[in-house]
Amino acid sequence: MPLYEYACDKCEHPFEALVFEGEEDSIECPKCESTRVTKQLSVPAVGAGSLPVSSCGEGPPCGAPYCRRKG
C-alpha cells in the first residue's frame, strides 16, 4: 500500500493518498475533487534504521564530500 504525495494542479492543495495497483489514474484532490494532480517527490521519513549513518556516527554515509572524520 504505497503512500504518495500529490499536489492539485487546479487549487494547488498538497495531499497524500494511498494508491493501490490500477488506481493511479483515479486520484482526486480531497479539497476540490479535481483529477488533475501531480505526484510530488517525497523525502524518506527519519527514524531508527531508515537511512544509513556514517561510520562517524552522525550524518550521511561517509564519503567525499560528506565525511567529517579526520584521517
User: Residue 42's pLDDT is what?
Assistant: 74
Whole-structure pTM value: 0.57
What is the rounded CA–CA span in Å between residue 13 and residue 48?
Answer: 31
Tens digit of each residue's pLDDT (9 = 90 or more) over 24-70:
889 999 999 999 999 998 776 665 555 555 555 555 555 555 555 55
What is the rounded CA–CA span in Å between residue 49 and residue 22?
Answer: 31
Looking at residue 4, the DSSP 8-state letter turns out to be: E
- Residue found by looking up cell 523525502 in the block: 43
- Residue found by looking up cell 479539497 in the block: 31
User: Residue 24's pLDDT is what?
Assistant: 85
User: Which runs of E-coded beta strand occur in 1-71?
Assistant: 3-8, 14-18, 37-39
